[in-house]
Amino acid sequence: MSDIHTLMDHYDATGLAGLVDKGEVSPGELLEAGIARLEQVEPQLNAVAEKLYDSARQAKLGNGPFRGVPTLIKDLFAPLDGARMSNGSLALGEARMGLDDTLVSRLREAGCQFIGTTTAPEFGTSYTTESTRFGATRNPWDTARSVGGSSGGAAALVAARVVPFAHGNDGGGSLRVPASCCGVFGLKPSRGRMPSGPLTGEGWAGMSTAHAITMSVRDSAALLDITAGADLGAPYAAPWQHEPFVDSLRRPPRPLRIALVEHLTPWTTGPEALAAVRHTAQLCESLGHHVQHASLPVDALAFLDQVFDIIGASTSSYVTLVGEMRGAPVSLEELEPRTRIILREKGNASGARYADAVASIHMLGRRLAAFLTEYDLILTPTLTREPPLIGTLDPFDESLSLATLIDRFHSYSPFTALFNASGQPAMSVPLYWTAGGLPLGSHFAARFGEEGTLLALAAQLEQAQPWAGRVPPVSAQRR
């Protein structure tokens, strides 16, 4: 198995870095192979915001545990020195921040090679990766369908076997939704687990965090080990992890009490997504866990109205900042219709309303924490239906109401944003494909600070029902 592409077909990032460490492959070979694989699939997927081949070839390589592994950084509030940061918007033009995000710095020190940035919808406020600036990013399982959002470019390239993992972030499901759409693994860490500096103290009142889309569970755990931890001046931090996250994979979890929640009123879960989550529940039971039907103590519509107070105020503040940075106010014509809807209805939220919204998400965290005194995990569908056709989810019509926008997005992904608001870790695990060959993930949430429980279960599920052998029609993998 000496051909470099054959190695990349069969090894995750941990395995590739091990080959580099043993001298069986060089970082330069991995870099060029990653570039070649990206060039192979990019015309079909449109998942890249900017190619950074020359800078990757010239960069000083870190000597950490992922030495030589090629990857990409999401083009959304994650500055990468030398790269454009458009945040999916026409309004930012060719803005380059000239510095690294703290998480990016940690990946660089770990030896990662950045071959590009990945596409995201404007300001990350969509469950599909479509924008005026970049067009639609396409699903490698069916290029007529969405990859999800907002880390859609990252998920598409991992699913297409270009790279073993890609950076992403998640303010309402943006790692887990595309992981479900593309049949890969997506973990959202606990609030305060990951660094957000040096430019940001918290995103969306602490609802947003960063991590990665991965093919293997052990890569996700290893990436947490090298990137987690509060950075200088962070406003808060998650509970201390007493052992490396990868150690949680080395033993099966004890029998877990799992609350199975199939619907969130007022929305219902479609038949394929119900089949997916019930399949996962049966798999968990076969592994010795205890699954019990339950419902969540949440008024979804009231919750989302308050969440959009936070998103609207934050978006308004950011658009003003962009105008100040470039020396000219941002016009509405430069923004997506979705952003205009949010600004029109929530952009002028008062300070008191914003404070009430923050208090409400903190109270939700307390209610869900109390709920999890009876259970170890919550299991839900990641999405209520299969990935939609491109052009059908995001309303490119600013005359729509915010209520319509919320219904369109959250009838599709009703559960994921709850755990951004509560701060709990959550993951989407690829365990089911529809009769039409489309993936549908299953979503688990754990108690605050207990990523290790999620990762231990994910490793057990991965061993019981491996997913890496399922390769989409658009793929860089040699057949």
Active-site residue numbers?
Answer: 74, 150, 174
Residue 167 main-chain phi, psi, to 5 deg: -65, 145
Token representation of residue 121:
């919808």
Query: For 84, which DSSP code?
Result: B
Q: Which residues contact 235 (CB under 8 A, 6 or more apart)?
A: 201, 202
Q: Is 436 exposed, middle or buried (0-12, 13-18, 19+ CB in 10 A)?
A: exposed
Q: At what angle do helices 402-410 and 300-326 cross, to 10 degrees?
A: 110
Query: For 287, which DSSP code?
Result: T
Q: State the amino acid at position 138 in one-letter form.
A: R
DSSP bridge partners of 291? 258
On the CB side of 110, CA atoms within 13 Å amount to 25
Measured CA to CA, the distance from residue 401 to residue 102 in angstroms comes to 37
Q: What angle do CA 349, 354, 357 make, to 5 degrees?
A: 120
Helices assigned H by DSSP within 287-395: 300-326, 337-346, 351-371
Tokens 């293997």, residue located: 216
Tokens 């992904």, residue located: 413
Measured CA to CA, the distance from residue 461 to residue 396 in angstroms comes to 39
Question: What is the separation of C-alpha 40 from the centre of its chain, rounded to a whole number of angstroms?
Answer: 24
On the CB side of 440, CA atoms within 13 Å amount to 28
Q: State the amino acid at position 238 in one-letter form.
A: A
Residue 187 main-chain phi, psi, to 5 deg: -115, 130
Measured CA to CA, the distance from residue 379 to residue 370 in angstroms comes to 16
